[in-house]
Chains A and B, each alone.
Chain A
Amino acid sequence: MTSQATNPGPAATPQLELRGIVKQYPGTLANDDIDLTVMPGEVHALLGENGAGKSTLVKIIYGVVQADAGEIHWNGERLNISNPAQARHLGIGMVFQHFNLFDTLTVAENIALCVEDSRDLAKLAEQVSAVSERYGLPIDPRRHVHTLSVGERQRVEIIRCLLQNPKLLIMDEPTSVLTPQEVEVLFQTLRRLAGEGCSILYISHKLDEIKELCERATVLRGGKVTATCDPRRETPKSLAEMMIGSELPVCQNVDGGDRGEVCLEVDGLSLPADDPFGTELTEIHLNIRGGEIVGIAGVAGNGQKELLQALSGEMKATHANDIRIAGTPAGHLPPGHRRGEGLAFVPEERLGRGAVPEMSMSDNTLLTTYQKDMVRSGFIQFDRIDEYCKTVVDDFNVVCAGNHAEARSLSGGNLQKFIIGREILLGPKLLILAHPTWGVDVGAATLIRQAIIDLRNKGTAVLVVSEDLEELFEISDRIAVISNGRLSPARRTGDTDVEEVGRWMAGMFDTAGSGEGHHAA
């Protein structure tokens, strides 16, 4: 950070200034009269919950969508940004949350695709090396993208922007795919860039990151600017209040410590990858008892998807005994039979997997509750389904237009509450959840975590796979880490910390260790 950035003189021209930006989508007013000013060399946070209008706003800045009303001033000059090419030409770079890289091409080739006049790959590779050295972003330009970790892929995206000498770099939720150690490195890079005069617009809902990195924050709620502040002078509590409009709720985690029978045993599960860019699972061991929450952390794409599919039955294990649910060998059982053994499952994708988008809430209730006396001699018992559906909606505060509302008409958080409620009310022996609060607003996330804890206290075994370390530390009794298709031993949450889990996320653990796999970096 430089003094020039923190104390811009009164005469300084903002790098970017938005005035009265309005964007109306069918059914929602995504941006409602938004003002935003970013000074040169400033790290500016755009803070808000999902659906607050952050993404729409940056898409307007990057020229992906056009505002319905309002003005954009760039370096004091009013202009229209009508497409991303023009935005890049002005000096606006953007690193998306989901990367746009071709797996089968090398780093240099990927970068060449979007840098103008870059026919000379060797020269470009040199430039890439130079930039990567200068900003502490080590990357080999000759490597193929599919061999890179997610953190490395993000570096490629950042380097791609830096090669164009941006004056404003937009980062959309950049840390959601990084280990804590990688986050530190990223922050150093961003501070360095800001020191050289590049403005950074940093989008996140993680309050501690914003406090650490940013000098100013614009807070959005429901499409409107609710506050502009200096996050370093705020507390996470006050920031959360600006963001969600009320106090940050917390959940009550009282662990009685009662453990029951082993409900899930994974015993040396190995699975070859089903597609060339998938992850192979190697020798996975895991036991979960009733009344226990085990969390699995890890950077996305390290085998979570494959492990979850093997557990749910959507992919069959090699041996029937690789997976035992409540003592029954289940490795070869299809998903319906595993449900019969007491498994309930909350998948990562809500629309299209956890729920059928164009079906009603009632029909989506039947989707997984069909073994609970909802079907008699082949006929659907509609009154019983409606009753169950209503209980889920009431118990889990699902906001919807009734049992006949289509699943796709619900917001992400409400649909997730519905799916989790539906699975919890089945009274499972084992509940597996994938990314339970991903993309869910703070209020819903707290309710979901509380429901998971309450279920644990009733004696259910719970497995939570998540990328959100904070969440895992909050609710898990034990934590394991998946990295490159291998699962670390599960440590008691109290006996480990973010540092250690972060090292494990980078693959530095020993699976052979008997529960105490412990390797220094």
Chain B
Amino acid sequence: MQLRLEPRAMPSKWLRYSSPLIALALTLVFGVILFSALGQNPAVALYTFFIRPIGTLYGLSELCIKAAPLLLCAVGLAIGFRGNVWNIGAEGQLTMGAICGGGLALAFYGDEGPWLLPLMIVGGGLGGMAWGAIPAFLKTRFNANEILTSLMLTYVAIQVLGYLVHGPWRDPEGFNFPETRLFGEDALLPVLIEGTRFHFGVVLAVLAAMIGWVFVTRTFAGFQIKVVGQAMAAANYAGYSGNRVVWTGFLIGGGLAGLAGLGEVAGPMGQLNPTISPGYGFAAIIVAFLGRLHPAGVLLASLLMALMYLGGESLQMNLNLPLAITGVFQGTLLFFVLASDVFIRFRVKLVHNVPRTAP
């Protein structure tokens, strides 16, 4: 006797779209069990994790500025993932964008004008693109696995950043701390809501999601990516180039991740230091799948993921729970998304007397 998965003839369309919600509900159930096991009142803990962080205007704005880099990275990744371009290195592209954009702020320090910020935005995007171009080139020229190359390049980018902030770019008046000067006023993204840190980068991220939406649903290039992702043989037959999709996926993904990095250093941080991102580039992979690889879904998923970051901090501050809870929740959520997808597309069947298939 054994269990076997059988494809369903007609997976419910409604369930397919609601599977992230089912996964979220299951994650909450898991949370109740987890907090009970940790000796906490689950209601209080869940309130502290999910509601308390966004109870104020300041909390809401924090949610938005945490969601912005996730959204930027995830929109770019989702476009690539639709075409089976497995860019796992958004974290590295984000770091490289921060280095290039932030480098411009340092280069023109004391010699700036209103032109500097736009230049930095372009520089950040190009930096991320350049870093994404390396795995794209290796994939199209040598058929090197992009999962490995893009992931490994992440660590290279982080080392480059470490070298710069410990060495040549270290703040001369910074008491030897491994960080750069604070950027000048013209090199910072303007704060849009008084009394919060809600900055222009959030608007950029929402704009990117909207353009991404148009790109995937309305343009021929977006259509080609989808065909390559769903049926490579059909793409070859119709005359779509798989290599072009690899390049498109990496350049868009890298560019948006680079923008996310720039948004961090020219936004809340205002300088470069060795840890720019708490893993936004990796969490964005979860966000992309949670959002069904669709820019609108990704927008909602990035808010949820941002809430988890804030919730983890809130638990740490108010209930003395470890920050690692955030990672546990993120992983659990992804697990339940993938699991509910499987059960929506397949059903489990109990098989007696397994027949040998070979005649």
Contact = CB atoms under 8 A, between A and B. Distances in A.
B220 A83 contact: no
B4 interface: no
B223 A354 contact: no
A41 B41 CA distance: 78
Nearest to B358: A100
Given A370-B220, A379-B219, A380-B218, A83 B356 contact: yes
A229 B236 CA distance: 48
B357 interface: yes
A378 interface: yes
B238 A336 contact: yes
A391 B239 CA distance: 23
B142 interface: no
Most buried by A among B231, B353, B354, B358: B231
B233 A366 contact: no
B39 interface: no
Nearest to B217: A380
Of B10, B355, B356, the most chain A CB neighbours within 10 A belong to: B355
B55 interface: no
Interface residues of A, number: 44
Contact of B234 (A85, A313, A353): A353
B230 interface: yes
A71 B231 CA distance: 42
A367 interface: yes
A202 interface: no
Interface in A1-38: 25-27
A94 B357 CA distance: 13
B13 to A, nearest CB: 10
Contacts of B231: 352-353, 356-357
Interface in A30-69: 62-64
Given A85-B356, A335-B237, A380 B223 contact: yes
B237 A312 contact: yes
A91 interface: no
Given A84-B355, A114-B359, A375-B220, A352 B233 contact: yes
B220 A380 contact: yes
B9 A367 contact: no
B227 interface: yes
B359 A84 contact: yes
Interface in A96-111: 96, 100
- Give the bracket for the number of chain B residues in contact with chain A: 20 to 34
Interface of A is mostly: loop
B219 A359 contact: no
Contacts of A380: 218-220, 223
Given A100-B359, A352-B234, A367 B227 contact: yes
Given A26-B8, A335-B236, A335-B238, A94 B359 contact: yes
B109 interface: no
A335 B223 CA distance: 17
B321 to A, nearest CB: 43
A341 to B, nearest CB: 12
A370 B231 CA distance: 17
Nearest to A375: B220
A336 B239 contact: yes
Contacts of A85: 356
Tell which of B230, B236, B240 has the most Cβ of chain A within 10 Å: B236
Contacts of A352: 231, 233-234
Contacts of B227: 356, 359, 367
A355 B234 contact: yes
Given A114-B358, A379-B219, A380-B219, A354 B237 contact: yes
A64 B234 contact: no
B234 A82 contact: no
A166 interface: no
Interface string B219-250: 11101001100110110111111000000000
A358 interface: yes
A459 B354 CA distance: 57
Closest A-B pairs by Cβ, 10 of them: A336-B239, A26-B9, A335-B239, A83-B355, A353-B233, A27-B9, A375-B220, A356-B231, A367-B238, A356-B234
20 contacts: A26-B10, A83-B353, A83-B356, A84-B357, A84-B359, A312-B237, A336-B238, A336-B240, A352-B233, A352-B234, A353-B231, A353-B234, A353-B236, A354-B234, A359-B226, A363-B223, A367-B227, A367-B238, A370-B238, A380-B218
Given A83-B356, A335-B238, A339-B239, 20 more contacts: A25-B9, A26-B9, A64-B355, A82-B353, A96-B359, A312-B237, A334-B239, A336-B239, A336-B240, A353-B236, A353-B237, A354-B234, A356-B234, A359-B226, A366-B220, A367-B227, A368-B237, A370-B220, A378-B219, A378-B220
